[in-house]
């Protein structure tokens, strides 16, 4: 049986490689957009060096409020803390500006203690976007151990009866899981690759399977929050927190799911995850409420469309996800995904969304929406919008290298 399994895996890998080889030449980046991206990345380098001058030693940027001129910051325990060093390192990868690497190293020393934080599901965001990126650029035993400790901390939040990693701590009778949690599974897949310990992989796959079963509607839109019974695993409630309504499609949540299931397919090569990612992409790209410029409203069911606020963060995450998913999809879908991501990057690069130098608190992008129902982070720059915008631009550039 083991020989048969290995043979099957080998065949699957060969088929996957052949599919990718057939398609990699079919995506042709626009020279004008590549030039725009080069300018964006150069300007982003300067912006983030400017941002660094505004931060106190243990502060992490969250948002900037143009109406007051105030930079909003957090400590290392906030879920967004990994995006600042992650963006610095991604820009360093592109521009080779040593000042960015120095600042990333400095702030990661503040962040390192979160490897032992068992009270958050966001360790993927916090630690993989930062230390994971650092380890890609310059692997060290220290980075590896921090990432492994982070994966172990994240794993403590898994409940086998529910089949999920708990997102938010609440009263004992609740077990709250949000769609955002799909983004933290990449850390667990990495841990299995590094250690050979399949328990991390199994947790990630189980969480993904439970999410498909309970988070998604027949049209491939996602609820934001599922409340499980921690003793039985039964669903107690399906609702939203940051979206417009219980049954609405909160834009960033849809983007988290698209990106997350694309990663799960990459790591497993199991077609059901590709089918899930494609279904989510169809829901997004065929949605009658998706604007022509592909920058979504903060919720696809916001009541005041077309006057609802746009969410640049949801657009950036979607673009980055589509630039990976297009590599795995069939030719027609792949082209659609690639062209949509191209449109998003082009429009996020316009003066409507891109900051002028030394403005906007050092952020690259304007006009994201954090938590509309709570009245927080509304129509402001957000640190994760920048991170995924830079990642999307990097991914687009990679297609220019394919022959």
| Beta carbons within 10 angstroms of residue 129's beta carbon | 28
Does the active-site annotation cover 122? yes
pLDDT band at 263 (very low <50, low <70, confident <90, very high): very high
Give the C-alpha distances (Å, rounded to integers) separating 117 from 159, 194, 256, 373. Answer: 17, 21, 22, 28
Active-site residue identified among 45, 169, 174, 180? 180
Distance CA 245, CA 301 (A): 8
Three-state DSSP class for residue 305: coil
Query: Does pLDDT of 17 surpass 50?
Result: no
| Closest listed residue to residue 241, CA positions, set 325, 295, 178 | 178
Q: Which helix (H) or strand (E) holds 209?
A: helix 198-215
Annotated catalytic, 180? Answer: yes
Confidence (pTM): 0.94
Banded model confidence at residue 339, pLDDT cuts 50, 70, 90: very high
Q: How many CB atoms lie within 10 A of CB 170?
A: 12
Nearest to 126 by CA among 191, 62, 79: 79
d(CA 368, CA 271): 33
Measure CA 266 to chain center.
15
Exposed, middle or buried, 98 (CB in 10 Å: 0-12/13-18/19+)? exposed
User: 215-233, pLDDT tens digit by residue?
Assistant: 999 999 999 999 999 999 9
- For 42-54, what is each residue's pLDDT tens digit? 999 999 999 999 9
Query: Checking phi first, is residue 361 left (phi over 0); if not, alpha (psi -120 to 50) or beta?
Result: left
Instruction: From the candidates 97, 105, 122, 275, give the one annotated as an active-site residue.
Output: 122
Q: Cβ neighbours of residue 373 under 8 Å, at least 6 residues apart? A: 240, 241, 242, 243, 244
Nearest alpha-carbon partner for 328 in 247, 367, 270: 270
Task: Give the residue extent of every domain in the chain.
Answer: 22-29+251-403, 55-156, 157-239
pLDDT for 267-312, tens place per residue? 999 999 999 999 999 999 999 999 999 999 999 999 999 999 999 9
Encoded tokens for 2: 């083991």
Segment 131-154 shows an average pLDDT of 98
| Dist. CA 36–CA 66, nearest whole Å | 25
pLDDT at 11 over 70: no
Q: Is 180 annotated for ligand binding?
A: yes
Mean pLDDT, to the nearest integer, of 75-103? 98
Closest listed residue to residue 381, CA positions, set 41, 155, 128, 67 = 67
Residue 256 annotated as lining a ligand binding site: yes
The verdict on whether residue 293 carries a ligand-binding annotation is no
pLDDT at 26: 86
Fold classification of 22-29+251-403 (topology level) = Glycosyltransferase (1.50.10)
- Which of 220, 278, 229, 228 has its CA nearest to residue 253? 220
Query: Residues 209-217: what's their mean pLDDT?
Result: 98
């Amino acid at each position: 049986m083991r020989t048969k399994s290995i043979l099957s895996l080998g065949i699957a890998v060969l088929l996957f490689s052949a599919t990718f080889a057939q398609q990699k030449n079919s995506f042709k980046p626009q020279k004008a957009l590549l030039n725009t991206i080069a300018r964006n990345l150069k300007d982003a380098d300067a912006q983030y060096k400017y941002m660094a001058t505004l931060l106190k030693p243990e502060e992490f940027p969250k948002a900037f409020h143009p109406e007051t001129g105030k930079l909003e910051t957090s400590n290392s325990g906030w879920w967004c803390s990994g995006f600042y060093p992650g963006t610095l390192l991604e820009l360093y990868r592109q521009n080779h500006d040593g000042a960015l690497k120095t600042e990333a190293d400095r702030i990661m020393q503040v962040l390192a203690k979160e490897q032992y934080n068992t009270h958050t599901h966001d360790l993927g965001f916090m630690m993989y976007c930062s230390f994971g990126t650092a380890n890609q650029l310059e692997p060290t035993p220290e980075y590896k151990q921090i990432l492994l400790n982070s994966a172990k901390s994240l794993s403590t939040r898994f409940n086998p009866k529910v089949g999920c990693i708990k997102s938010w701590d609440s009263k004992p009778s609740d077990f709250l899981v949000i769609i955002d949690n799909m983004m933290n599974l990449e850390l667990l897949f990495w841990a299995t690759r590094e250690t050979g310990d399949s328990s991390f992989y199994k947790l990630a796959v189980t969480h993904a399977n439970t999410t498909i079963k309970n988070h998604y509607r027949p049209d491939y839109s996602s609820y934001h929050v599922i409340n499980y019974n921690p003793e039985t695993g039964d669903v107690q409630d399906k609702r939203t927190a940051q979206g417009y309504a219980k049954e609405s499609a909160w834009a960033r949540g849809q983007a988290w799911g698209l990106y997350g299931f694309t990663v799960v397919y990459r790591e497993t090569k199991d077609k059901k995850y590709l089918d899930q990612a494609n279904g989510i992409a169809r829901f997004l790209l065929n949605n009658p409420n998706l604007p022509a410029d592909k920058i979504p409203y903060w919720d696809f069911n916001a009541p005041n469309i077309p006057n609802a606020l746009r969410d640049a963060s949801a657009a950036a995450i979607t673009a980055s996800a589509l630039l990976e998913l297009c590599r795995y999809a069939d030719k027609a879908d792949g082209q659609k995904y690639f062209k949509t991501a191209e449109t998003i990057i082009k429009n996020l690069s316009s003066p409507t969304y891109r900051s002028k130098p030394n403005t906007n608190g050092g952020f690259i992008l304007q006009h994201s929406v954090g938590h509309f129902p709570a009245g927080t982070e509304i129509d402001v720059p957000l640190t994760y919008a920048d991170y995924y915008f830079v990642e999307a631009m990097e991914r687009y550039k990679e297609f220019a290298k394919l022959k």
